[in-house]
Amino acid sequence: MSTHFEEELVMLHGWGMNAAVWDGDWQADWPELCQHRIELPGHGTSPFPPTLNNLWRWADACLDAAPARAVWLGWSLGGLVALAAALRAPKRVAGLILLTATPRFVQAADWRPAMPETTLDQFHTELLADPAATLARFLALQVRGSDSARETLQQLREELASRPPPNADALALGLDLLREEDLRGQLPDIRCPALWLFGSHDALVPAAVAERIEMLMPGAQTQIIAGAAHAPHLSHPAEFAQAVRSMLAEVREPLA
């Protein structure tokens, strides 16, 4: 029996990670969902041809692997790719769930709740010298401040080790995307339902981004998960699962 689009969920992980990040106990709450765990170019088992050299081509690659219509869930860099997919092919994206994502990852004069550009520059420099150590440092940053930092960090390490290591060129391009892309001006063009989930203790995407999203995208919902850092789906799985269920129910509602 075929599934309806609201039962199709595309899931995009973050920078340096892979599809194993979605292996959580919370997924048992979604028995009706057909999950499409798409790996970003050059991550996990996903190839990285030279043509995939910008955000829009990454979005196209994910669209090629996705069902005809689905709700898209994107974590961090995966959220940026999901936004690009919604702009690229609006009829194929029924709804968006942006998990600790932001339309602009680095600070600007008019965008203070973000990472300093020097942080990403340092990651670039370290990546050239020691990719493994750079990934390890990034994992530590993702859990910093979380209520369950040690357990979440261990889970991230295990998930990263369960798949092939990411391609170094893909990692470098991913950092370029985080540093250079700015989709703030295009948010009003996204018409599908959208839920932005933030962690109150996130050291990479500050929760204060929620206030900016509410101004830039008035129709969107925002939610801050108390005690969570950059990986709420791992540290606060129950709250994450409930937020996703509520969003999917809202997407279904117009069809009722």
| Residue 244 clears pLDDT 50, i.e. is over it | yes
Residue 192 pLDDT greater than 90, yes or no: yes
Region 8-17 average pLDDT: 96
Mean pLDDT for the stretch of residues 107-130: 93
Q: From the candidates 36, 230, 233, 236, which is the catalytic residue? A: 230
Say what the pLDDT of residue 214 is: 95
pLDDT, one tens digit per residue, over 21-44 is 998 766 666 667 899 999 999 999
Q: Do the Cβ atoms of 178 and 204 come closer than 8 Å?
A: no
Sort strands 8-12 and 34-38 into parallel, antiparallel or unpaired: parallel
Concerning whether 202 is annotated as a catalytic residue, the answer is yes
**Overall average pLDDT of the 85-102 stretch:** 98
> What span, in angstroms and rounded, lies between the C-alpha atoms of 140 and 161?
15
Give 66's DSSP letter.
S
| Two structure tokens written together for 109 | 């004069």
pLDDT at 27: 66
What are the residue ranges spanned by the domains of the chain?
5-255
When pLDDT is cut at 50, 70 and 90, the band that residue 249 belongs to is confident
Annotated catalytic residue 200? no
pLDDT for the residue numbered 250: 84
Q: What is the pLDDT of residue 31?
A: 65
CB contact at 8 A, 15 and 79: no
Of 18-32, 203-217, 239-253, the least confident: 18-32
Q: With cut-offs at 50, 70 and 90, classify the pLDDT of residue 255.
A: very low
DSSP string spanning 17-64? --GGGG--GGGGG-TT-EEEEEPPTTSTT----TT--SHHHHHHHHHH
User: Whole-number mean pLDDT of the chain?
Assistant: 92
Helix axes 77-88, 55-65, angle to 10 degrees: 80
Phi, psi at 27, each rounded to 5°: -65, -15
Q: How far apart are CA 86 and CA 72, in angstroms?
A: 9
30 Cβ contact partners less than 8 Å away, ≥ 6 residues apart: 9, 241, 244, 245
Alpha carbon distance 250, 252 (integer Å): 5
Q: Above 50 in pLDDT, residue 256?
A: no
Give the fold, CATH level 3, of 5-255: Rossmann fold (3.40.50)
Percentage of the chain beyond pLDDT 90 is 73
- Which one is predicted more confidently, 144 or 63? 63
99 strand-pairing partners? 75, 197
Residue in this structure with the two tokens 């801050």, named with its chain if needed = 224
Please enumerate, by residue number, every residue annotated as part of a binding site for substrate. Answer: 15, 76-77, 138-142, 230
Give, in order, the Cα–Cα distances in Å from 209 to each of 101, 104, 137, 205. 9, 10, 23, 7
Choosing from 202, 233, 235, 236, the catalytic residue is 202
Whether 235 is a known active-site residue: answer: no
Report the alpha-carbon distance of residue 251 to residue 256 in Å, rounded.
Answer: 10
Q: What is the pLDDT of residue 65?
A: 98
- Catalytic residue from among 13, 36, 43, 76: 76
| pLDDT at residue number 28 | 64
Q: Which residue has the tokens 């689905």?
A: 70
pLDDT digits (tens, 9 = 90+) for 133-188: 999 999 998 998 888 888 998 988 988 888 999 999 999 999 999 999 999 999 99
**Residues making up the binding site:** 15, 76-77, 138-142, 230
